[in-house]
């Protein structure tokens, strides 16, 4: 499929480097020649940098005056498909190609074959004299599951100096040896039988198998409530893909999900798949990167950046929980992994499966329009039924001002306690209280660097900014008027809710699940497992608990504030609230007993709340879609955000206003521009952020117009401009 050219020594070649200059640069091919896509080392100014041979060179200068490629790295050349993908992705997101290339070559030390590096592993004997530092080293080795680490990796993982490791080697508790050649991944066996599928499941699996077998591109939306067996169904598509000898990629939104997931894959295919995530060691990433390129990693399970791995023959991409907002990278290169998965699949003749209980409106509309196939899974698998959902009208409940659990909800929790069942109280707010106000002067404590309020975290004994992470001790006196003892928390966070729960249900075992209360993803996972096995009666959680975890004894979900997501002017608010509420409610009744979800709301007649309760999802999507269509908003129109940021507020606004004035290139394609206005996150780490929003018709050549428009003005020093195609909020 890939006809790679070979360039003879001395020929002119174009090399794309990951450095933020130019597009491709011309070099003289090295003595032994090089292949198209080869990873090479080239001189750039006084430095040597890594690059990829992009094709024949073009410039008209004297060949003898070109600098020569220094060295060809010992890695499989980047395939034409991946190079084409990077260019198209760069074009779509208006990212300079070098930045895109960086995403695909982030694997450190890539190309360097495993050499005679020293690596360390457990010997299996305990040192006679154990110190805390030594214990940390042994723990670190343990937690990497037997993978060999280099000295610096091990010291960093254990947070000790290298001498501690060397000491352990000397006494024989840690073994030092040579890095092995890449260990092959264990083979997955797609011919092992899967679970016996229900009628719905079997029909869906058959359609996906047929699509994969066809060998071409296509996207399928796989929709079904949580627990309906979507995973079982798409694993059949994975089986088909592996049986054909092609590779498969499963993208998951959250690392916390993978432990359970990997075990399931192992049960299905007899071995663990390769895992790609930011927490992996450098050694592991290097190994995976090479094995993927050789076609020796059959199945990769990973976070969004796994999309940029150099697959040899990718036949299937599954995007699980496709609506999840974490698929949108909001830092550096702004891309949506769901959309990029579709792009990459279309270039390498692969199938895409988008799985979700509550698809994004974009995917729903694409299925409706026939661009995507659609498979619906009906009920939950087995006996478990969807929870019954009811509103608690908070206008009719009597509650003191500093309490949030209504008598009705409290009664429901009490009944669960009596029956020995679990309850989950959901509140999407970390910390103790979202606002700290001075009762003497009315001042609200805000972050010094951001346009955000400081959130009180009693557990940490600090005020924390959820935007930039800055924190400080909780002050005694008001920073504005200086009066002491008048600062008061306003509103609930999960920590404060936990106090109320403890007061109302003193005998209950309470667990608070909030990302900031756990030192590591591993500690969180362990706690979740304990809770699933019954270690808590009442779980208090943020949106962390909405995703995927299975608590079999959980029969009641209480949403403390169902109105929370509906405030604000974001057009996606309805969609997000609907998705989140549905997901949270889906946590109840996953075991044998049916569940109930109770939503506390001050506006039970609100259309979104009614849609959540009524359960007619199709009607909800249709209404949402109709609203967007009338407004010409995505997915019926196109949008882009231009984010300008600078420490100087006046400078960003002035620059934004000047850009808005010079809107000729936009008007020529019929696009409108709004702003400048403060960006959704208006100030971060001392930088003011201002946004211009551009709206265009569906078919308009938006990227070209944006490039021409923003190219008219050179930003002043210290002002950054980032283009956000298809912004998440508008
Ligand atoms: P989803 O991905 O839609 O949330 P899962 O595939 O995780 O659903 O299925 C939910 C639970 O039901 C899992 O524990 C799964 O193993 C089980 N399950 C689903 N389908 C079957 C089946 N056909 N046979 C046995 N167990 C099943
Ligand atoms: Zn801040």
Model confidence over 534-586: pLDDT tens digits?
A: 899 999 988 777 665 678 888 898 989 888 777 655 667 777 778 777 777 77
Name the token pair of 106. Answer: 């982030």
pLDDT exceeds 90 at position 675: no
- pLDDT tens per residue across span 277-336: 777 777 778 888 888 888 889 999 998 889 999 999 999 999 999 988 888 887 778 889
Is the pLDDT at 1 greater than 50? The verdict is: no
How far does the centroid of ligand 2 lie from the alpha carbon of residue 680, in Å?
Answer: 14
- Nearest bound ligand to CA 464? 2
What pLDDT does 578 receive? 80
Per-residue tokens: 130: 């154990």
- Predicted confidence at residue 519, as pLDDT, reads 65
Residue 600: strand, helix, or coil: strand
Tokens representing 247? 């590779």
Q: What distances in angstroms separate CA 434 from CA 452, 483, 533, one per listed residue?
A: 10, 21, 32
DSSP state of 546: G
Give the class (CATH, top level) of 388-434+491-625. alpha beta
pLDDT band at 181 (very low <50, low <70, confident <90, very high): low
pLDDT at site 180 = 59
Nearest ligand to the CA of 321 is 1
How does strand 25-28 pair with strand 12-17?
Answer: antiparallel
Question: Measured between alpha carbons, how far is 290 from 666 in angstroms, rounded to an integer?
Answer: 44
Contacts 24+ apart (CB under 8 A), 496-503: 496/432, 496/433, 496/458, 497/404, 497/405, 497/425, 497/427, 497/540, 497/560, 498/540, 500/403, 500/404, 500/405, 501/405, 501/425, 501/538, 501/540
Ligand 1: nearest atom to the Cα of 320: 2
Instruction: State the DSSP H helix or E strand holding residue 208, giving kind and residue range, or none if neither.
Output: helix 199-214
Nearest residue CA, atom 25 of ligand 1?
195
Ligand nearest to the CA of 196: 1
Atom of ligand 1 at shortest range from CA of 196: 23
In angstroms, rounded to a whole number, what is the distance separating the alpha carbons of residues 634 and 632?
Answer: 7
Same CATH fold assignment for domains 199-377 and 388-434+491-625: yes
Nearest residue by C-alpha to atom 9 in ligand 1:
229
Distance of CA 193 from the midpoint of ligand 1 (Å): 15
**pLDDT for 695 beyond 60:** yes
Determine which residue's CA is closest to atom 19 belonging to ligand 1. Answer: 229
Backbone angles phi, psi at 339, to 5 degrees: -70, -40
Q: What is the largest CA-CA distance in the chain?
A: 87
Nearest CA owner, ligand 1 atom 14: 227
pLDDT at 730: 63
Cα–Cα distance for residue pair 423/410, rounded to 1 Å? 10
> Pick the residue with more confidence: 468 or 576?
576
The structure tokens listed for 540 are: 């208090």
Q: What is the DSSP letter of 61?
A: S
Read off the tokens for 689: 């952020």
Residue pLDDT, tens place only, 109-138: 554 554 556 778 888 788 888 899 999 888
Q: How far is the CA of 426 from the centre of ligand 2 (A)?
A: 25
Residue 276 CA, ligand 1 centroid: distance in Å: 24
Mutate-to-test residue for ligand 1 from 193, 231, 546, highest number of ligand atoms within 8 A of CB: 231
Contacts for 402 with CB less than 8 Å, ≥ 6 apart? none
The answer to whether the CB of 483 falls within 8 A of the CB of 438 is: yes
Q: Is 241 marked within a binding site?
A: no
Closest CA to 27 of 16, 13, 47, 38: 13
List the single range of 49-58, 191-200, 510-519 with lowest mean pLDDT: 510-519
For residue 197, the CA-to-ligand 1 centroid distance in Å is: 9
34 is in an annotated binding site: no
Give the residue among 505, 491, 496 at the shortest CA–CA distance from 423: 505
> Could you write out the DSSP letters of every residue in 281-342?
-HHHHHHHHHHHHHT---EEEE-GGGGGS--SSEEEEEEETTT-GGGB--SSS--BHHHHHH
For residue 577 the two structure tokens come to: 């609230």
Q: Which atom of ligand 1 is nearest to the CA of 233?
A: 6
Percent of the chain with pLDDT over 70: 90
Reading the block at residue 103, the tokens are 């995403």
The verdict on whether residue 348 carries a ligand-binding annotation is no
Going by C-beta distance under 8 Å and a sequence separation of 6 or more, which residues neighbour residue 285?
Answer: 107, 108, 276
* Burial per residue of 307-330, b for 16 or more beta-carbon CB atoms within 10 angstroms, e otherwise: bbbbbbbbbbbbbbbbbbeebbbe
- Summarised one tens digit per residue, pLDDT across range 705-714 is 999 999 898 8
pLDDT number for residue 121: 80
When the pLDDT of each residue in the chain is averaged and rounded to a whole number, the result is 85
Q: Which atom of ligand 1 is nearest to the CA of 226?
A: 4
Q: What is the atom index within ligand 1 of the atom nearest the CA of 377?
A: 3
Nearest one of 248, 246, 298, 247 to 270, comparing CA atoms: 298
Instruction: Kindly indicate whether the domain formed by 6-105 is annotated with CATH number 3.40.1440.60.
Output: yes
The answer to whether residues 583 and 389 touch, using CB atoms and an 8 Å cutoff, is no
The span from the CA of 616 to the CA of 190, in Å, is 37
Q: Assess contact for 317 and 249: CB atoms under 8 A.
A: yes
In whole angstroms, give the CA distance from residue 360 to residue 367: 11
Burial of 385 (0-12, 13-18, 19+ CB in 10 A): middle
CATH number of 199-377: 3.40.50.300
Residue of the CA atom closest to atom 6 of ligand 1: 229
Give nearest CA residue, ligand 1 atom 5. Answer: 229
CA of 726 to the centre of ligand 2 (A): 26
CATH topology of domain 117-179: Arc Repressor Mutant, subunit A (1.10.10)
Specify the ligand 1 atom closest to the Cα of 198.
23
CATH architecture of the domain covering 637-725: 2-Layer Sandwich (3.30)
661-673 tens-digit pLDDT: 999 999 999 998 8
Q: Whose CA is nearest to atom 11 of ligand 1?
A: 227
Could you count the other beta carbons within 10 Å of the beta carbon of residue 395? 8
Q: How far is the CA of 539 from the centre of ligand 1 (A)?
A: 23
Rounded CA separation 600/281 (Å) = 44
pLDDT higher than threshold 80 for residue 373: yes
Q: Which residues are within 5 Å of ligand 2 (an ion), measured at CB? A: 447, 449-450, 465, 467-468, 470
Higher per-residue confidence, 18 vs 499: 499
Q: What radius of gyration do the chain's Cα atoms show?
A: 28
Ligand sitting nearest the alpha carbon of 687: 2
The neighbour count for residue 340, using CB atoms within 10 Å, is 23
**Measured in angstroms, how far is the CA atom of residue 226 from the centroid of ligand 1?**
9
Cross-strand partners of 219? 352
| Ligand in closest contact with the CA of 448 | 2
Which residue in 685, 598, 696 sits closest to 647, CA to CA?
685
Nearest to 623 by CA among 604, 639, 610, 605: 610
- 438 annotated as a binding-site residue: yes
Ligand nearest to the CA of 453: 2
C-alpha separations of 663 from 405, 607, 667, 671, 674 in Å: 52, 38, 6, 9, 10
Ligand 1 pocket, residues with Cβ under 6 angstroms: 195-198, 201, 224, 226-232, 381
Of 108 and 300, the one with more pLDDT:
300
Task: For the beta carbon of residue 227, count every other beta carbon within 10 angstroms.
Answer: 21
174-178 and 672-684 beta bridge pairing: unpaired
How close is the Cα of 120 to the center of ligand 2, in Å?
41
- Domain coordinates of the chain in residue numbers? 6-105, 117-179, 199-377, 388-434+491-625, 637-725
Find the 451 Cα to ligand 2 centroid distance in Å.
7
Place of tokens 């949580």: 226
What integer is the mean pLDDT of 192-219? 93
Ligand 1 atom nearest 357 alpha carbon: 3
DSSP-assigned letters across all residues of 641-700: EEEEEES-HHHHHHHHHHHHHT-HHHHTTT-EEEEEEEEEEEEETTEEEEEEEEEEETTS
86 neighbors 52 (Cβ within 8 angstroms):
no
Choose between 294 and 393: higher pLDDT.
Answer: 393
Residue-wise pLDDT for 26-64, tens only, equals 898 888 888 899 888 888 887 777 789 998 888 677 777
Interstrand relation of 554-559 and 672-684 (parallel, antiparallel or unpaired): unpaired
3-state secondary structure 441-499: CCCECECCCCCCEEEEECCCCEEEECCCCCEEECCCECCCCCCECCEEEECCCHHHHHH
Place of tokens 């309805």: 574
Q: Is a pLDDT exceeding 60 seen at residue 389?
A: yes
Q: Is the ipTM of this complex over 0.90?
A: yes
- pTM, to two decimals: 0.77
């Amino acid at each position: 499929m890939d006809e790679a050219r070979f360039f003879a020594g001395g020929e002119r070649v174009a090399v794309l480097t990951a450095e933020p200059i130019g597009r491709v640069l011309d070099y003289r091919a090295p003595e032994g020649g090089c292949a198209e896509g080869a990873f090479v080392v080239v001189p750039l100014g006084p430095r040597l940098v890594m690059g990829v041979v992009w094709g024949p060179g073009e410039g008209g200068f004297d060949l003898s005056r070109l600098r020569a490629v220094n060295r060809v790295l010992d890695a499989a050349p980047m395939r034409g498909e991946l190079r084409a993908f990077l260019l198209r992705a760069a074009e779509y997101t208006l990212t300079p190609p070098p930045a895109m290339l960086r995403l695909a070559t982030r694997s450190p030390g890539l190309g360097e074959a495993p050499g005679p590096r020293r690596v360390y592993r457990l010997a299996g004997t305990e040192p006679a004299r154990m110190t805390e530092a030594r214990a940390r080293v042994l723990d670190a080795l343990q937690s990497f599951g037997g993978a060999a680490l280099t000295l610096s990796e091990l010291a960093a993982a254990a947070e000790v100096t290298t001498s501690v490791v060397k000491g352990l080697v000397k006494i024989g508790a840690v073994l030092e040896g040579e890095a092995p050649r890449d260990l092959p991944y264990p083979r997955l066996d797609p011919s092992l039988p899967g679970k016996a599928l229900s009628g719905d499941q079997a029909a869906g699996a058959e359609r996906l198998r047929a699509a994969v077998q066809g060998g071409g591109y296509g996207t399928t939306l796989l929709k079904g409530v949580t627990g309906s067996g979507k995973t079982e169904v798409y694993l059949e598509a994975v089986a088909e893909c592996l049986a054909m000898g092609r590779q498969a990629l499963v993208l998951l939104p959250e690392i916390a999900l993978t432990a359970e997931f990997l075990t399931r894959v192992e049960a299905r295919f007899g071995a663990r798949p390769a895992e790609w995530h930011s927490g992996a060691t450098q050694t592991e990433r290097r190994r995976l990167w090479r094995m993927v390129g050789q076609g020796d990693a059959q199945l990769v399970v990973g976070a969004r950046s796994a999309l940029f791995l150099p697959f040899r023959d990718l036949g299937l991409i599954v995007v699980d929980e496709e609506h999840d907002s974490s698929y949108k990278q909001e830092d550096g290169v702004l891309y949506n992994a769901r959309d990029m998965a579709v792009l990459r699949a279309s270039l390498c003749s692969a199938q895409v499966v988008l799985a979700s209980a509550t698809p994004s409106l974009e995917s729903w509309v694409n299925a409706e329009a026939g661009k995507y196939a659609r498979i619906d899974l009906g009920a939950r698998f087995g006996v478990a039924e969807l929870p019954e959902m009811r509103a608690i009208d908070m206008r009719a409940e009597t509650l003191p001002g500093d309490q949030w659990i209504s008598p009705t909800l409290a009664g429901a929790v009490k009944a669960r306690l009596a029956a020995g069942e679990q309850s989950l109280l959901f509140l999407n707010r970390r910390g103790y209280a979202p606002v700290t106000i001075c009762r003497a002067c009315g001042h609200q404590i805000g972050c010094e660097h951001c346009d955000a309020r400081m959130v009180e975290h009693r557990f940490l004994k600090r005020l924390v900014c959820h935007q930039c992470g800055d924190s400080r001790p909780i002050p005694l006196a008001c920073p504005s008027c200086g009066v002491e003892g008048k600062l008061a928390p306003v509103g609930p966070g999960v920590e404060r809710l936990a106090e109320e729960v403890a007061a109302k249900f003193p005998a209950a075992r309470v667990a608070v699940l909030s990302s900031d209360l756990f030192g590591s993803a591993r500690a969180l996972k362990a706690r979740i497992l304990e809770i699933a096995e019954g270690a808590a009666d009442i779980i208090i959680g943020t949106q962390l608990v909405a995703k995927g975890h299975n608590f079999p004894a959980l029969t009641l979900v209480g949403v403390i504030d169902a109105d929370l997501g509906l405030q604000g002017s974001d057009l996606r608010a309805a969609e997000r609230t609907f998705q989140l509420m549905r997901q949270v409610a889906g946590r109840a009744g996953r075991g044998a007993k049916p569940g109930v979800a109770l939503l506390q709301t001050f506006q039970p007649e609100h259309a979104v709340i009614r849609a959540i309760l009524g359960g007619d999802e199709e009607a909800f999507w249709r209404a949402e879609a109709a609203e967007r269509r009338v407004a010409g908003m995505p997915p019926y129109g196109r949008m882009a955000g231009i984010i300008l940021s600078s420490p100087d507020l006046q400078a960003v606004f002035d620059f934004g206003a000047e850009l808005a004035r010079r809107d000729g290139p936009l008007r020529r394609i019929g696009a409108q521009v709004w702003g400048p206005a403060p960006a959704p996150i208006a100030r971060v780490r001392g930088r003011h952020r201002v946004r211009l929003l551009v709206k265009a018709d569906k078919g308009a050549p938006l990227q070209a117009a944006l490039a021409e428009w923003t190219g008219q003005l050179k930003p002043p020093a210290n002002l950054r401009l980032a283009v956000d195609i298809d912004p998440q909020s508008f």
